[in-house]
Amino acid sequence: MLLLGCLATGSLIAAAPKILHVSLGVEPQDLDAHLISGIPEARVLRALNEGLVQVDRDMKIVPALAQAWDVSPDRLTYTFHLRPEAKWSHGRAVTAHDFVRSYRRSLTAATAAHYAENFYPIAGAEDFHRGKLTDFGQVGVRARDDHTLELRFRAPSTYMLYYLTKTEFGPVPLDVIEKHGPAAGPGNRWTRPENFVGNGPFVLKSWRNGHKLVAVRSPTYWDRARVKLDEIHFHPVDNPNVEERMFRTGQLHITQAVPLAKIGTYRRDLPAALRIDPYGGLYYFLFNVKRAPFTEVRVRRAFSLAIERELLVQQVTLGGETPAFHAVPAGLQGYTGRHAFKADVATAQRLLAEAGFPGGKGLPPIELLYNTSENHRAIAEAIQQMWRRNLGVEVTLANQEWKVYLDAINKTHAFQVARAGWVTAEPHDHLERWSTGHNSNYAQWSNADYDRLLREAIAAPNTTARYEVYQQMEKILNEEMPIAPIYFYTLPRLISPKVSGFRTLLDDMFPWQEVDLKP
């Protein structure tokens, strides 16, 4: 009776654990920071791993694992001072040597790191990755001591501090990786829950394919007193209608999307749950310039100019998106492009006829690929109808699950036209990827003038000069059309009123240690 009495007064009742349930939209591809290519994977890794710097809720670069940094007067050398209290989840200190070994692994060709090109501004990095340089000691990555990391760049690369917030620039535990297989190459089992080691605010507890991924508060994280959640459960839900039902029944606190048909209903009946935030992304269609008929620039332009973007965002997407007529979202980091194309059905019809396909006659069968999602399907169907109505072209639709779709667009290039998206808060990131041979140039497009301008942008002495070069790069993209920009994203999602401290950032990489749950 005494025990019951104590329970009734609450003196012995432990506080319920704070467990946040979040949708990822898809099943993660992997959790190896050097091998992943998608936003869902990076979103999980924000909980499990931490890099030198991160963005705060105002998109400003702030200290993370590095407590401070110095920049040389010529802006070619950055010196980062690591927190001596930072530890891996297995207890070992995180050191500057971990970064050196991690960057070497990413730049080792056998690793097949998806974003190895992002390291190229570092002196010697490109030559090492391409096998022209075999001594990594000549690459501009050096540990002065256990807690001092020096990065030396070949040009000012004034965008690089933001790049260092990306997951691929965080450290990976080579001592753990090497216990489970070769450090370079696929198939290493170190990312399985029983083997995974990170240095972030949360630790991987469980993950089964097709089921939720569970991350729990890390006892070794250097700033663990600031972590508010006990657990984060990441759910791989690729159907917005299922997400919405899970939200209504309390199974999700944060969705990754909202069914397009229900945005209006939430606006009217439950506006407090609906959040539509700015998002630094471009939704676009990707043309495979190595596959007919999109080897012909006039065909690519015709298909792009025939898309009625205003109609699409007004009647289909419904999330306040902006029609896109160039590659970089306006105002991103203060950059606004001056060169935009104009959608024009009559011009599209003329271009298609000049290419030898009047009214669509003579075109080979064309297939549009998208990753499985009701929202992507609705957009694909709307544009399929526009191409039929405006060009006389019949296009079939095909959908693939996330992992299969990623392989199709960035490994086998087994597509003609494919839905794609790119989200980043840095204009350089939107434009660099279309350079010749870049690993994210899924269109396989190449233009010597574009490549030359990219080199000029990297060498620009300041941001203003760099942005002037971007103007010329966007002009070339509009003329060559390796992609058809569709719209600039907003991010509609449903968020429970129980969630506090969460904010959608332009790259949707909000630090999970800031998030809390109200009782």
Cis peptide before 271 (omega within 30 of 0): no
Indicate the length of the chain as a whole number. 519
**DSSP β-bridge partners for residue 277:** 491
The DSSP H or E segment spanning 125 is helix 125-129
Task: Using DSSP bridges, classify how beta strands 202-207 and 213-217 pair: parallel, antiparallel or unpaired.
Answer: antiparallel
Q: What's residue 493's pLDDT? A: 96
Convert 436-472 to b/e letters by CB count within 10 Å (16 or more is b).
Answer: eebebbbbebbbeebeebbeebbebeebeebbebbbb
Q: What's residue 37's pLDDT? A: 86
Q: What's residue 14's pLDDT? A: 63
Task: Evaluate if residue 8 carries a pLDDT over 60.
Answer: no
DSSP assignment string, 239-277? -HHHHHHHHHTTS-SB-S---GGGHHHHHHH-TTTEEEE
Query: Which segments of 170-220 does DSSP mark as H helices, in order?
Result: 174-177
pLDDT band of residue 519 (cuts 50, 70, 90) is: confident
3-state secondary structure (DSSP) of residue 440: coil
- CA dist 402 → 38, 165, 367 (Å): 9, 25, 18
Structure tokens at 18: 């704070």
Q: What's residue 59's pLDDT? A: 87
Residue with tokens 């990413």: 106
Per-residue pLDDT of 101-138, as tens digits, reads: 999 999 999 999 999 999 999 999 999 999 999 999 99
Q: What burial class does residue 114 get, using C-beta atoms within 10 Å of its C-beta: 0-12 exposed, 13-18 middle, 19+ buried?
A: buried
Q: Contact, 155 vs 74, CB < 8 A?
A: no
Structure tokens at 70: 């110095």
**DSSP β-bridge partners for residue 232:** 20, 215
Beta strand spans in 96-201 (E):
141-145, 148-152
Q: What gap in Å lies between CA 23 and CA 234, rounded to an integer? A: 6
Q: What's residue 78's pLDDT? A: 97
* Average pLDDT of the residues in 479-483: 98
* Average pLDDT of the residues in 40-45: 94
Per-residue pLDDT of 68-78, as tens digits, reads: 999 999 999 99
Per-residue pLDDT of 216-235, as tens digits, reads: 999 999 999 999 999 999 99
Name the percent of the chain lying above pLDDT 90. Answer: 89
Per-residue pLDDT of 347-402, as tens digits, reads: 999 999 999 999 999 999 999 999 999 999 999 999 999 999 999 999 999 999 99
Give me the domains of the chain, ranges plus CATH numbers.
19-228+495-517 (3.40.190.10), 279-491 (3.10.105.10)
Q: Is the dihedral of CA 62, 65, 68, 73 positive or negative?
A: negative
Task: Identify the weakest region by mean pLDDT among 347-356, 378-387, 469-478, 502-511.
Answer: 502-511
Task: Evaluate if residue 9 carries a pLDDT over 80.
Answer: no
3-state secondary structure (DSSP) of residue 436: coil
Q: What's residue 488's pLDDT? A: 97
Structure tokens at 250: 């309390």
Per-residue pLDDT of 164-174, as tens digits, reads: 999 999 999 99
For the question of whether the overall pTM of this predicted structure is more than 0.75, the answer is yes
* Average pLDDT of the residues in 479-496: 97
Query: Which segments of 355-493 does DSSP mark as H helices, in order?
Result: 374-391, 402-410, 427-432, 448-459, 463-480
Q: Contact, 271 vs 341, CB < 8 A?
A: no
Convert 254-282 to b/e letters by CB count within 10 Å (16 or more is b).
Answer: bbbbbbbebbeebeeeeeebbbbbbbbbb
Q: What's residue 13's pLDDT? A: 53
Structure tokens at 472: 């010329």
Q: Contact, 499 vs 20, CB < 8 A?
A: yes
Residue with tokens 């064309």: 366
Structure tokens at 282: 């471009």
Query: Which segments of 136-220 does DSSP mark as H helices, in order?
Result: 160-163, 174-177
Task: Identify the weakest region by mean pLDDT among 194-198, 259-263, 322-326.
Answer: 259-263
Q: What's residue 208's pLDDT? A: 87
Q: Is the dihedral of CA 342, 347, 349, 354 positive or negative?
A: negative
Task: Evaluate if residue 12 carries a pLDDT over 80.
Answer: no
Structure tokens at 60: 């400003």
